[in-house]
Structure 1
Amino acid sequence: MTYQLQPISPEQHLAFIASRPSASHLQVPSWGEAKPDWRAESVGWFDGRDRLVGAGLALFRPLPRLRKCLAYLPEGPVIDWTAPDLDRWLAPLPGYLKDRGAFSVRMGPPVVTRRWDAEAVKAAIADPAVRRLRDTEATREEPGARALADRLRGLGWRPSDPDGAEGFAAGQPRYVFQVPLAGRTAQDLQRGFNQQWRRNVKKAEKAGVKVDRGGHADLAAFHELYLETAERDRFLPRPLEYFQRMWTALTTEDPDRMRLYLARHDGELLAAATMLTVGRHVWYSYGASTARRREVQPNNALQWRMMCDAHELGADVYDLRGITDTLDPDNHLLGLLRFKVGTGGQAVEYLGEWDLPLNRVLHKALGLYMSRR
Structure 2
Amino acid sequence: MTTHQRVERAEDGAAPNGALRLRPITAAEHSAALRRPGPYTRSFLQTPGWARVKTGWQAESLGWWDERERLAGSALVLYRQIPGTRRSFAYLPEGPVVEWADPRLDRWLDPLLDHLRGTGAFAVRMGPPLAYRRWRAATLKASAGPGRRIGDVLPDMVEPLGAAVGDRLREGGWRRCGEDGQGADAQPRLVFEIPLAGRGLDDLWTGLNQEWRRNVKKAAHRGVRTAVEGAGSLPAFHDLLRVTEQRDGFSLGRELDYYQRQYAALNAEQPGGMRLYAARYEGEMLAAHTLLTAPDGKRVWYQTGASADHRREVRPSNALQWRMLCDAVLAGAEVYDMRGIPDDLDPASRAYGLLRWKTGTGGEAVETVGEWELPLQGAVNKALHRAMNAYLTRR
Task: State percent identity of aligned pairs.
Answer: 52
1:273 corresponds to which of 289, 312, 316: 289
- In the TM superposition, 1:5-24 aligns within 5 A as 5-21=22-38, 22-24=41-43
In structure 1, C-alpha distance between the alignment counterparts of 2:117 and 2:246, rounded to whole Å = 40
Match of 2:277 among 248, 252, 261: 261
Aligned counterpart in structure 1 of residue 224 of structure 2, from 209, 233, 238: 209
Deviation at 1:360, TM superposition (A): 5.5
Q: Give the whole-Å Cα distance in 2 for the aligned partners of 1:244 and 1:150.
A: 40
How far apart in 2 are the matches of 1:295 and 1:51?
A: 55
**Where does the alignment leave 5 or more consecutive residues of structure 1 unmatched?**
none
Q: CA deviation at 1:335?
A: 0.9
Deviation at 1:31, TM superposition (A): 0.6
The alignment status of 1:234 with 2:252, answered yes or no, reads no
Tell me which residue corresponds to 2:342.
Answer: 324
Looking at structure 2, the residues matched to 163 and 325 of structure 1 have their Cα atoms a distance apart, in angstroms, of 20
Query: Does 2:54 align with 1:35?
Result: yes
Relative to the length of structure 1, the TM-score reads 0.95
Structure 2 residue aligned with 1:122 = 141
2:154 is matched with: 137
- Secondary structure, in 3 states, of the residue corresponding to 2:77? strand
Structure 1 position 234, deviation (Å): 2.3
Query: What amino acid does structure 2 have at the position aligned with 1:235?
Result: F
Verify the 8 A CA contact 1:357 1:363 in the aligned structure 2: no
Residues 345 and 363 of structure 1, relative CA distance in 2, 3 Å threshold: farther
Please state if 1:333 is matched with 2:351. yes
Give the superposition deviation at 1:362: 4.3
Deviation at 1:68, TM superposition (A): 1.0
Query: For residues 242-301 of structure 1, what are the alpha-carbon distances to aligned partners after superposition, in whole Å with 9 as ceiling and x for unaligned?
Result: 000001100001111110001111111110011011121011011111111110001100
- Equivalent residue of 1:91, what SS? helix
Q: Name the counterpart of 2:4.
A: none
RMSD of Structure 2 on Structure 1 (CA): 1.8
1:131 CA displacement: 2.2
Paired letter, 1:310: A
Equivalent-residue separation in structure 1 for 2:54 and 2:358 (angstroms): 28
Partner of 2:326: 308
1:180 is matched by which residue type in structure 2? P
Shift of 1:326: 2.4
Residue 357 of structure 1 deviates from its aligned partner by: 1.0
Residue 363 of structure 1 deviates from its aligned partner by 5.0
Find the residue that maps to 1:78 and give its secondary structure: coil
Look up the SS of the partner of 2:327 in the other structure: helix
Report if the CA contact (8 A) 1:104-1:363 is conserved: no
1:105 counterpart (124, 131, 143)? 124
Tell me which of 163, 175, 178 is aligned to 1:146: 163
Is 1:159 the counterpart of 2:176 in the alignment? yes
Moved more, 318-327 or 301-310: 318-327
Q: Secondary structure at the match of 2:116?
A: helix
| Residues in 2 aligned to 1:65 and 1:361: alpha-carbon distance in whole angstroms | 19
Deviation at 1:143, TM superposition (A): 1.4
